[in-house]
Amino acid sequence: MSPAVQRVLVVDDEAGMCAMIRDVLTDSGFQVETFTDPQRALAAYRPGLYDVVVTDIRMPKVDGLSVLEHVHNRSPAPPVIVITAYATVDTSIQALRRGAYDMLTKPFEPDELIQRVRNAVHHERLAAENQALREQLAAAITAPRLIGESQALGAVLAVAEKVAARDFPVLITGESGTGKELVARTIHLGSPRAARPFVAINCGALAQTLLESELFGVRKGAFTGADQERAGLIQTADGGTLFLDEVGNLPTDVQKLLLRFLQEKEFYRVGDTQPTRVDVRVVAATNADLKAAVADGRFREDLYYRLAVGRVRLPPLRERPEDIPLLVAHFVQEQNQRFPSQVQGVTPAAMAYLASLPWPGNVRQLKNVVEASMALEQGPRLSVETLAGLLGESAPPGTAAAAEEDWAACSERFEARYFGELLERHAGNVEAAAREAGVNLATLYRKIKRHGLRRDD
């Protein structure tokens, strides 16, 4: 995609100065709008409309400092370059205190003006990119992640890592509650698009009549009630990843539109006659058998093969029961941090009971059961009686076969990995890691020593 033309607002009460600045900047590829009346300029100003503002400082009725203040009081505020023929220390200090990006003293050379404006644009672009990266890093640190050490989960993560680097559509299959969106986020965060948006939509949660407008957007006046332009989720995800959960529920007419977008990288908003081009990677997920849906004519075969260029199958929890202790330890610790609870873990009998269940709702069901039992449990550890009661069963006999040290070993393993990942994310900064974990420094240093962690690894 070609970069957008940068728009510059120029405010100067001298018509000749406005014309000179407009001609110089227009010849350098900028789009320029000039005002000799600062009051009219302020009336016409809209946040997000201009990339740079250039204003004279001495003007009748409204001076340049007032223009500067007006711009900076409305977000997002572009950089402002102040022009003055009377450069004094006091004027410079006032302008900088009010947020001026730069000052330019009359008379000035055209090349100097061009360079200052280009610097302002570059500065603003870097600031926006840094902000996006900070937000993405914060999301990556706090985002839920796949928990487990089983061979089955390791195979999933290995495939996810490989397809993340390849910029093609990916189809994730698996039963409900297995964590398909977590896999999609893992792929996004491991891809070159990690600093751009991750936008998710559940195709089964919206009425079929709304799906087209939600995905592709609406042009103003397209139908009764469409009183403003509205971007769809595909456009919102520009540069990033669009996650289509339960993609098998897409109606056939929307399937046709999605197929065209995947082929052409462009789409039409509802009511639009001109296509919109975006750069989006599509990751889809389903708990249905799409091949059977293709055979039945409920899902387009050509769309299926477009979506399934890369494929990831997420196993159900019953195929990786060795991950249940780590998952339980994670959910217990998560709830202890979120609420004023001090649950120490799970009794050996309860852990053996949890590991014996088929978990048709998979990880989501396990999480819900652990959270609910923590709210009801009276003792320091979750008991088999509380868990069985929540599942509508009687406490099974003979579930005390697991040894006490099994839970302790699981907790130790989880704790070592948790604090190790914290230190890695914060590049060995113990204070930052302690703040995120909600523990004091002394506690974290004890954990580092206890688990043989190295800050420089």
* CATH number of the domain to which 72 belongs: 3.40.50.2300
| One domain, residues 325 and 439 | yes
Q: Are both 167 and 59 inside the same structural domain?
A: no
Cβ(131)–Cβ(288) under 8 Å?
no
Same structural domain, 386 and 360: yes
Q: How far apart are CA 110 and CA 102, in angstroms?
A: 16
Dihedral of CA 252/254/257/259: which sign?
Answer: negative
Tell me the percentage of the chain whose pLDDT exceeds 70: 86
Is the domain of 370 the same as that of 428?
yes
Report the pLDDT value the prediction gives residue 401, as an integer from 0 to 100.
Answer: 42
**Residue 361: predicted pLDDT:** 93
pLDDT for the residue 138 = 52
- Rounded Cα distance, 289 and 7, in Å: 50
State the average pLDDT over residues 156-178.
94
> Which pLDDT belongs to residue 399?
46
So what's the pLDDT on residue 227?
A: 57
Residue 455 lies in a domain: no
**Residue 61 half-sphere exposure, CB side, CA atoms within 13 Å?**
10
pLDDT at residue 124 tops 80:
yes
Flag whether pLDDT at 327 surpasses 50: yes
Question: 457: pLDDT confidence band, cut at 50, 70 and 90?
Answer: low
Where a domain ends, among 298, 315, 332? 315
Strand-pairing partners, residue 55, are: 11, 82
By the 10 Å C-beta count (0-12 exposed, 13-18 middle, 19+ buried), 93 is classed as: exposed
Does residue 145 carry a pLDDT above 80? no
**Res 308: pLDDT:** 94
Both 357 and 402 in one domain: the answer is yes
For position 20, what pLDDT does the model report? 94
State yes or no: pLDDT of 107 exceeds 60. yes
Beta pairing partners, 80:
53
Does 416 map to a domain?
yes
CB 67 within 8 A of CB 41: yes
Contact call for residues 3 and 46 (beta carbons, < 8 A): no
Model pLDDT, residue 411: 63
Confidence at residue 131, expressed as pLDDT on a 0 to 100 scale: 67
Domain boundary among 62, 96, 129: 129
The two three-digit tokens of residue 2, written as one number = 């070609």
- Same domain for 415 and 288: no
Listed residues 315, 332, 362: the one ending a domain: 315
Q: What per-residue confidence (pLDDT) applies to 403?
A: 40
265 and 347 both lie in a single domain: no
Residue 188 pLDDT > 70 = yes
Confidence (pTM) = 0.60
Q: How far apart are the first and last CA of the chain?
A: 40
Phi, psi of 190 (to 5 degrees): -95, 5
Q: What percent of the chain has pLDDT over 90?
A: 42
Residue 98 included in any domain: yes
Which has more confidence, 208 or 166?
A: 166
For residue 414, being part of any structural domain is answered with: yes
**Domain holding 348: CATH number?**
1.10.8.60
Would you state the structure tokens that stand for residue 179, as one six-digit string? 């964590």
pLDDT, tens digit (0-9, with 9 covering 90-100), for 3-47: 467 899 999 999 999 999 999 999 999 999 999 999 999 988 988
Confirm if 135 and 143 have CB atoms less than 8 A apart: no
Q: Could you give the angle at the alpha carbon of 331 between the alpha carbons of 326 and 337, nearest 5°?
A: 125
Amino acid making up residue 216? F
Residue 1 lies in a domain: no
Pair 301, 406 in one domain: no
Evaluate the omega torsion of the peptide bond into residue 79 and state whether it is cis, within 30 degrees of 0.
no
134 belongs to a structural domain = no
Regarding whether 47 and 120 lie in a shared domain, the answer is yes
Instruction: Kindly state the average pLDDT of the residues 426-435.
Output: 81
Q: What is the pLDDT of residue 180?
A: 95
Give the separation between CA 423 and CA 412, rounded to whole angstroms: 17
Q: Are residues 341 and 291 in the same domain?
A: no
pLDDT, tens digit, for every residue of 226-283?
A: 556 677 888 889 999 999 999 999 988 889 999 999 998 888 887 777 888 889 999 9
Please indicate whether residue 230 or residue 87 has the higher confidence score (pLDDT).
230
- What is the C-alpha separation between 327 and 45, in angstroms, rounded? 53
Of the pLDDT bands very low, low, confident and very high (cuts 50, 70, 90), residue 410 is low
Among the listed ranges 72-76, 206-210, 354-358, which one has the minimum average pLDDT value? 206-210
Query: Can you give the residue range of the structural domain that contains 435?
Result: 319-450
Tell me the β-bridge partners of 35. 11
When pLDDT is cut at 50, 70 and 90, the band that residue 225 belongs to is low
Question: Within this chain, do residues 158 and 301 fall inside the same structural domain, yes or no?
Answer: yes
pLDDT for the residue 445: 79
Number of domains in the chain: 3
What pLDDT band is residue 402 in, cutting at 50, 70 and 90? very low
Residue 323 lies in a domain: yes
Please give the pLDDT value at position 226: 55
Same domain (yes/no): 156, 102 = no
CATH number for 223: 3.40.50.300
Q: Is the pLDDT of residue 2 over 60?
A: no
| 3-state DSSP of 73-97 | CCCCCCCEEEEECCCCHHHHHHHHH
pLDDT of residue 277: 87
Which pLDDT value is given to residue 286? 95
Least confident of 71-85, 134-148, 168-182: 134-148
- The pLDDT value given to residue 1: 37
Does residue 2 lie in a domain region? Answer: no
Asked if residues 105 and 82 have their Cβ atoms less than 8 Å apart, the reply is no
